[in-house]
Structure 1
Amino acid sequence: MKDERGLYYHPQAGNNQARVYVRRGPDGEVEFRLWQADHPEIWERHPWLSLDVVRNAARLYRTERNEEADPLKLYDLAVARALLREDEA
């Protein structure tokens, strides 16, 4: 899907209040940015992130907060690549 912010997908089935936006970074890598309707400040505070940055942050999050939580479930590289391919076609 696409809106004024760019290409996005819903990371949680049935939850239209969260979106993960995707784009190609300067080096062609996939970048992600989270938007949530109930927390619009997330968009403002967090820049576009590569999957490596997301993975590193997720490791820290799981270690410091909750080992069972997995923020990586929000960021799907296969979905992001499919959206980008479709948009570039």
Structure 2
Amino acid sequence: MKDELGLYYHPQAGNTLSRVYVRRGEHGEVEFRLWRSDMPDVWERHPWLSMSVVQDASELYRLERNADADPLRLYDLAVARALLKEDEA
């Protein structure tokens, strides 16, 4: 899907309160940014993130045994690549 902020997907089925926006970074890498309608400041506080940053954060959550907060549950590289490919076609 696409709106004035860019390409996005809903990271949790049935939950339209959250969106993950995707774009190509400066060097062509996929970047993500979270938006939440119930928490507008999330967009301003959180910058665009590369997949390597998301993976590093995921490892921290794994070490803390906090799987429920694992960012890999929100930031889906396969979905992001599919959206970007479709948009670039």
Find the residue that maps to 2:67 and give its secondary structure.
coil
Write the mapping of 1:13-24 to structure 2, written as runs, cut at 5 A: 13-24=13-24
* Residue 52 (str. 1) matches residue 52 (str. 2): yes
Distance 1:55 1:17, change over 3 A: same
The CA distance in 2 between the partners of 1:63 and 1:42, in whole Å, is 25
Aligned to 2:67: 68
Runs of at least 5 residues in structure 2 that lack an aligned partner in the other structure: none
Aligned to 2:82: 82
The CA distance in 2 between the partners of 1:71 and 1:62, in whole Å, is 10
Q: How many residues align?
A: 88
1:57 Cα deviation from its structure 2 partner: 1.7
The CA distance in 1 between the partners of 2:59 and 2:66, in whole Å, is 9
With normalisation by structure 2, the TM-score equals: 0.91
1:55 Cα deviation from its structure 2 partner: 1.2
Runs of 4+ in 1 over 6 A off after TM superposition: none
